[in-house]
Structure 1
Amino acid sequence: MMPSPATRSIPVPRRPLRLGVLGAARIAGRSLIPAATAAGDVLVAVAARDPQRAREYAAEHGFLRAESDYAALLRSPDIEAVYVPLVNSEHAEWAARALDAGKHVLVEKPIAANADQMEALARRAAGSGLVLAEAFHYAMHPLWLRVHEVLGSGQLGTVQGITIRSEIPAPADSDPRWSLALAGGSVMDVGCYALHAAESLGAHFGGTPRVVSATALARPEDAEVDRSLTAELTYPDGTPVHVSSSMDAADMEFSLRITGTAGALDVPDFVLPQLDDRLIFGPADAPITEHLGTRASFDFQLDAFRAAVRGDATFPVSITESLHTLRLVDAAYRAAGLAPRPGAELSARV
């Protein structure tokens, strides 16, 4: 058994990270910023397209300063690592520019608009000695690690099927997540969590799954932008996976169910375990409920990123894993009759 959350030590940084943030994004205020503040890392600077917005954001969140633009932030010698929470279409481009500037990079998911763009970004990072990491934060939480432990223990018997749901209520019509040009759609925003989870679990079933079929419901305003998508996948050993993605659901749901011959495993919220840390597994007549701790998954993610930057460990989500996930995203779109999201060529090295 793994240590309980109560007995886990919370790493104290030997040397705090000196961080910059590209974009005055809401997600940064819910993820990296509180994690960095709690850990004692230094929020050096933020930049935004609107300099006034950057100054306001810096004052609100405790940054040392605001920079005039993204390029100025990347030139700052006192910043060693950069977080990129921009719109999806800009993730890979600004991650590449940050690498060129000698910065370690934590990029919001999805790390690129499509697999081709991700391959180009991976080539950019290769041999640089820098950390390029995709922010699938849930994968570093004890809850997800325990899922792997239970699967590996054989307690569920032979696994017969997996269902993964990633669904949220509809954002406003003006939200950039609805824009094809900005690499939007339900799979890009939330379905990528389910597909990454399927990729992660593949270690127990022979490797990366393949997409067998998919069906999408498009927005009336844009037939190429999915408001929901369901996909059937299969692992190399034949185990089936059902994935659902929606940005048009009645409620938020990020659930995982694994059914085996000796019992089932249910995780009500695998993406945000800080909201519900339960893992329920075992036979139907005697299920066991474990609580894996409500420390934020974003905190564990920053601990892992810091350890990778300091050379103490590799980041748990590998570049290969990120690439496989985007290949699944592209394959799901194609199987549903949609094109993968457009992604521009990365700018030349500077």
Structure 2
Amino acid sequence: MTIGWGLVGASTIAREWVIGAFRATRGQVVSVMSSDAERAKTYARENGIEQSTADLSVLLADPAIAAVYISTTNEKHCEQAIAAARAGKHVLCEKPLAMTLTDAHAMVKCAREAGVILATNHHLRNASSHIAMRDAIAAGMIGQPLAARVFHAVYLPPHLQGWRLDRPSAGGGVILDITVHDADTLRFVLGRNPLEVTAFSQSGGMGRQGLEDAVMGVMRFEDGILAQFHDGFTTRFAETGFEVHGTEGSLVARNVMTQRPIGSVMLRNADGELPLKLGNRNLYEAGIEAFHAAIAGKGRPSATGDDGIWSLATGLAVVEAARSGRAVNVETGL
């Protein structure tokens, strides 16, 4: 069965990744909404979408639309997701789920009461590299996990600059853009929740209006696992990576904190080094396929609303830790 989608936001991520993922997984993009009617019309024409509108209520009233993908700026997510849920539409929302935990909980509660699926678009869960690492840890291949390290400092290209660098009211800054991904991927791979964070932020010349463009810190997870993280918009030539070290071995992944199905994972233990076999499935297609299955009552989304609450709570704790210079507990309210 084809699933009709409405795009809430004429975004770059939808154009580059998500529209294609819908079409590859029995989805049809019916309409796109932007607050700028001319932008919506141009976006629709350029991306082969039949309808466009500047009015969210018009999009939500369309019976051909079963689900919406929200990729507007962060401060708009809550109101738009709640409106969609009340209209009986399933919701796939970009991260961070909202600007505050109160709003995120309201989104999850509304979706539950409306009987619709609410998911967070944490695409990195769908990477074969992270799935292989999760499975290796669960199988005891590195013994008891002790520590992890994520380096996710990249260069934010000019076409993605703008509100991420100069609009605090929209949730700009590297922490709510990238660190929330680290938090979710660590939760997924380790199978544990973060408890406490410390962090220092940096302004390296890209962030404006007091927004950070890089951050380093440590998260303490359940079972005493420590996880270092480094996120940035300013590093043109760095690679990304993810490591987990245990009592009996280590998992060393390179170039895996990315939207593309690339990278490698090496298992190191007393027997030497063994590369883990990885697939090359498109991360967004895998996530949309899981979402479609959840709509049909077969399984759950890759990242639920509660998963979005966890990553948001961790990101907000990192913001506060960097601001205050003290360790901050991760409080989700779940």
Q: Do both proteins adopt the same fold according to a TM-score greater than 0.5, normalized to the shorter chain?
A: yes
From 213, 223, 228, the equivalent of 2:214 is: 228
Identity of aligned residues (%): 24
Give how far 1:198 is off: 2.2
From 185, 196, 200, the equivalent of 2:173 is: 185
Give the letter aligned to residue 175 of structure 2. V
Give how far 1:21 is off: 0.3
Residue 210 of structure 1 corresponds to 195
Give the letter aligned to residue 276 of structure 2. E
Report the Cα distance in structure 2 between the residues aligned to 1:301 and 1:240, rounded to whole angstroms.
28
Q: 1:139 to 1:53 in 2, by over 3 A?
A: same
- 2:159 aligned with 1:144, yes or no? no
Q: Quick check: which one's helix share is greater?
A: 2
Q: Alignment partner of 1:49: what SS?
A: coil
Residue 313 of structure 1 corresponds to 299
Residues 112-121 or 296-305, more deviating: 112-121
- 2:70 aligned with 1:84, yes or no? yes
8 Å CA contact retained: 2:147, 2:227: yes
Residues 88-97 or 210-219, more deviating: 210-219
Report the Cα distance in structure 2 between the residues aligned to 1:265 and 1:24, rounded to whole angstroms.
38
From 35, 58, 72, the equivalent of 1:72 is: 58
- 2:228 aligned with 1:251, yes or no? no
Q: What is the CA deviation profile of residues 147-195 of structure 1, one whole-angstrom value per residue up to 9, with x for unaligned ones?
A: 1110012221232310012222145496111110111110111111111
Q: 1:184 to 1:219 in 2, by over 3 A?
A: farther
Residue 120 of structure 1 corresponds to 106
- 2:130 aligned with 1:130, yes or no? no
Q: 1:83 to 1:212 in 2, by over 3 A?
A: closer
Report the Cα distance in structure 2 between the residues aligned to 1:237 and 1:129, rounded to whole angstroms.
35
Report the Cα distance in structure 1 between the residues aligned to 2:238 and 2:37, rounded to whole angstroms.
34
8 Å CA contact retained: 2:124, 2:185: no
Residue 7 of structure 1 corresponds to none
8 Å CA contact retained: 1:264, 1:284: no
Q: Which runs of 5+ in 1 are unaligned?
A: 1-14, 340-350
Give how far 1:320 is off: 2.2
Report the Cα distance in structure 2 between the residues aligned to 1:322 and 1:109, rounded to whole angstroms.
7
Question: Which TM-score applies when normalising by structure 1?
Answer: 0.85
Give how far 1:332 is off: 0.8
Give how far 1:252 is off: 5.8
8 Å CA contact retained: 1:214, 1:231: yes
Q: What is the CA deviation profile of residues 302-339 of structure 1, one whole-angstrom value per residue up to 9, with x for unaligned ones?
A: 10110111111111312222212111111111111169
Aligned residues: 322
Q: What is the CA deviation profile of residues 201-259 of structure 1, one whole-angstrom value per residue up to 9, with x for unaligned ones?
A: 342xxx31222421111366756411111121112211211112211222364421112
Q: 1:294 to 1:174 in 2, by over 3 A?
A: closer
Q: Alignment partner of 2:187: what SS?
A: helix
Report the Cα distance in structure 2 between the residues aligned to 1:174 and 1:61, rounded to whole angstroms.
22
From 127, 138, 153, the equivalent of 1:167 is: 153
From 81, 84, 96, the equivalent of 1:110 is: 96
Give the letter aligned to residue 155 of structure 2. P
Give the letter aligned to residue 176 of structure 1. W
Give how far 1:142 is off: 3.0
Residue 332 of structure 2 corresponds to none
Report the Cα distance in structure 2 between the residues aligned to 1:265 and 1:231, rounded to whole angstroms.
20
Question: Which TM-score applies when normalising by structure 2?
Answer: 0.89
Residue 12 of structure 1 corresponds to none
Residue 42 of structure 1 corresponds to 28
Give how far 1:262 is off: 2.6
Q: Alignment partner of 2:262: what SS?
A: coil
RMSD: 2.2
